[in-house]
Chains A and B, each alone.
Chain A
């Protein structure tokens, strides 16, 4: 049976919208015929957003447009909990912004006295033009808006948007979330590079445009950040400056004159910077001219000479070298090989040590220099597989942070590679290096910690870091709800500092340097293996400073 629309909805159109928000429109009837209404507003200005799409995902997947005044009503609803979201081009929902409480906030009880307010945050826009020293537009420059983001306690430069300059040197980067951006400019590579079976005899041009950061510096550390507020539009004029260009030269050994090899030179943003590669297939000598100063990964690859059986799969031979380029670099020797690999062995729960029936562990090598070089594997490939060993193949030389995360309740009791304690130290891999296996030992007798977060005497929602000074890489970050209470299991026995902060989106919670300032107001606990739950109360700390 259907109820007619309550009469007071009519009054909604004559009330100013602020009053409308206060009005509760959920209406209970004997036939469970309810409705939910609300408004979509601009999170910055508080003004209504017209014609946003409001979606009710739970159940039937209803969707409708909000009106020109931002209001919407879903009718004929049964009693229950509904998930409501709004979207519109040029705006971000709380979920899209990654707010920690966005998912919970999106649920709406029906019936309810509450009017729903869906906030949309307007995008930020950076636009402008790129010129050369003479003030002429430069076409085809890749412009990236990059920002430092902390994910799982690890800070890295992430790409927020990318565009290329047009024939007038103009670019536009829209759909940027609020934050602090570094703009990088990578001059055109005309879509690829050319490899010649010939070496040049003359020195190439020694000046040119290399990748650079706003406002015209070579590296991100000395770049000026652009603070972009929600809804802001920022105009940038970038004059590219010529930089000295250098040549990288040397020899690649291990390829056949017929099969040849290919060479790439990649910077930390993943751009291929070589425009021209000269190769002498007979001697393996190579020249890559026109490269600006910087840190690069030089990579050679070739197909292995087709050996014995016809069924043999093609084997890729590789050689990589990390290069700090400050001047012409000659005499590099790259020896093609099957690449560096490392074995991974997982020992299941102690006590006792097992090698069979162990849960799966994700083991990752995270490159300190080039995020693209990071490698990972799941050990064993199938849950509970009897031979829990694997190899991570084709690892470029460099320095790596090793992380192991079990997919079942367990903690990492130890993580080693030969004599290197990977819970404390990074793993350095030299070119042509041979590594002992990475050994992961899982612990199943982990400790249980119960945390209660308080703020001015009241339970409060907060981000909580269970920080280990001894093994910072064992630290854990979680989020409490409004009750302030939660319980964390599978912690390695040992001493911890428990820290509560309001917002931990950018917290490098595994970095001793970043955590040091919170330790003074932390609550210390010592956890015993397998024992009873330990309880701790912790007061929310103010952030000493914003460190975005």
Chain B
């Protein structure tokens, strides 16, 4: 079950909980909280269950035992915490947990709650003079994820205090990496060039007032223990209950200035930003400055040396587009801002379900790799047209202010379309017809081993084609009675698998998932479907 109470959302709506019973039978949940590593009972743990608005707390005894009495038949998410331990759900896997089912003929009296001792990572960020750095952004990367990928993901971030210190507590045991992004407090970002007076001249050679080189500096993104290459980042492999200090010394380096040429001139508003990708999973925005130095030519200042991605955003009255220029920047370089590919004229129409045309304030977006993309406003009749779109592969999305509609299909002339994806090759005219769908499906069921309902199992629904996997997959963990629920499913053909101990599988990788799919179930989901299934649990291979 999804641990709804862990969501940090502003508003979260739970479905109404069935018919009202008159005299609820007095069921119980009881069990023991034990240390996940040693198996020793944890005294005085705080245990809570919740259903609807009713959250009930209790404190476990000296022997770790706890009881909730007088419960109605339902499934209860169960949480526990204790001094020096994390706060987690029962058998929690990143937001999913095994809720305890209560009712006749269900055993809810022998719960073993394995609670993990917390891990603490603290440290201090200092500058090249040994002085503490305030307000440095400290990012903690970990490997735990339920997204089916093996990578390092941001788990938490915070700013250093006035002592330059940071502290991440209540962490699960595991492997961690620390990265720091900061700006020298004294930095004076300067431009090398002054705006060109003569608008006909193409290249500016007008040297501006050089900033003092000792002040025109940046901190490259720095990893514990003080390295700027993420491959060399120090791994903090922490077992339950461990506390480590990971100090990060920063070293200011001269800021890099580059020029971007061949950018559009005229009414179009241009914004230039820069990103650095960390561990392949986080696009970290860097604070850079840019200024036009001659028509169509910009200077970008305040860059760290190394691999960065310059993102050029162009805004017009009808929409905007952005493209990325990946580069290993070096001082004084001039880059071509025009991009290499051809551009196409893309226009089309959004077709809404009958009787439901409300494109007011809506927007169509083409989302490509590397933040390349474009967006256009919807006209009253659902038509749209983009400014020039660079050739490439894009996902089509339609953003409506208040709507439960989704992109059902894309039909293209002048480009290849498949599902919600299009590929534009070469210049020319592209016409898109986007049909919107409404009504999502739901799959509920029981995960079984040899006909017996099984708890704690990973239940995964993936599109049969593998297309749009990272958006369309649905995931759950079977509760103590083996039941699970997958909601919000877009119509289409899917495969359903249940895998025991499957949480660290790299299931986004087709070859990893393939053997499981062979024994999976195929489901055709249409709008507003409510399917009930039994799924046989597979063992991890």
Contact = CB atoms under 8 A, between A and B. Distances in A.
Contacts of B211: 61
17 contacts: A63-B215, A65-B186, A88-B185, A89-B162, A89-B185, A167-B169, A172-B163, A194-B12, A196-B52, A198-B16, A198-B53, A278-B52, A310-B358, A310-B380, A311-B380, A313-B360, A314-B401
Given A204-B53, A278-B53, A311-B380, A53 B186 contact: yes
B110 interface: no
Contact of B8 (A63, A163, A192): A192
Contact of B17 (A125, A136, A191, A198): A198
Given A64-B212, A192-B9, A197-B14, A276 B53 contact: yes
Nearest to B169: A167
Nearest to B163: A172
Closest CB pairs A-B (n = 10):
A174-B162, A167-B169, A191-B8, A200-B53, A53-B186, A278-B53, A198-B52, A310-B358, A310-B357, A196-B14
Contacts of B53: 194, 196, 198-200, 204, 276, 278, 287, 289
B23 interface: no
Given A63-B188, A166-B167, A175 B162 contact: yes
B11 interface: yes
B162 A51 contact: no
Interface residues of B, number: 46
Which secondary structure dominates chain B's binding surface?
A: loop
A192 B215 CA distance: 42
B280 interface: no
Given A200-B54, A276-B53, A166 B169 contact: yes
A197 B11 contact: no
B15 interface: yes
Interface in B378-426: 380, 401-402
Interface string B156-168: 0000011100010
A163 B158 CA distance: 12
Contacts of A313: 360-361
B330 to A, nearest CB: 25
A62 interface: yes
A64 B360 CA distance: 54
A167 B170 contact: yes
A306 B4 CA distance: 30
Nearest to B6: A190
Nearest to A64: B212
Interface string A197-240: 11110101000000000000000000000000000000000000
A143 to B, nearest CB: 12
A65 B357 CA distance: 63
Q: What is the interface residue range for chain A against chain B?
A: 35 or more
Given A193-B11, A194-B4, A198-B14, 6 more contacts: A172-B163, A194-B5, A195-B11, A195-B12, A276-B53, A313-B361
A53 B184 CA distance: 12
Contacts of B17: 198
Contacts of B402: 303, 314
Contacts of A136: 83
Contacts of A199: 53
A262 interface: yes
Contacts of B8: 190-192
A64 B190 CA distance: 14
B209 A61 contact: yes
Interface in A238-265: 260, 262
Contact of B52 (A167, A174, A192, A200): A200
A306 B401 CA distance: 13
Interface in A256-280: 260, 262, 276, 278
A69 B402 CA distance: 62
A312 interface: yes
A409 interface: no
Contacts of A192: 7-12
Interface in A175-199: 175, 190-199
Contact of A62 (B7, B12, B167, B212): B212
A337 to B, nearest CB: 19
A172 B162 contact: yes
B129 interface: yes
B360 A196 contact: no
A147 to B, nearest CB: 19
A489 B132 CA distance: 51
B212 A63 contact: yes
B257 interface: no
Contacts of A531: none
Contacts of A198: 14, 16-17, 52-53
Interface in B100-144: 118, 120, 129, 131, 134
A51 B186 CA distance: 10
A471 B120 CA distance: 61
B215 A197 contact: no
Contacts of A65: 186, 214
Contacts of B185: 53, 87-89
A20 to B, nearest CB: 23
Contact of A306 (B131, B162, B358): B358
B13 interface: yes
Interface in A304-350: 306, 310-314
A90 interface: yes
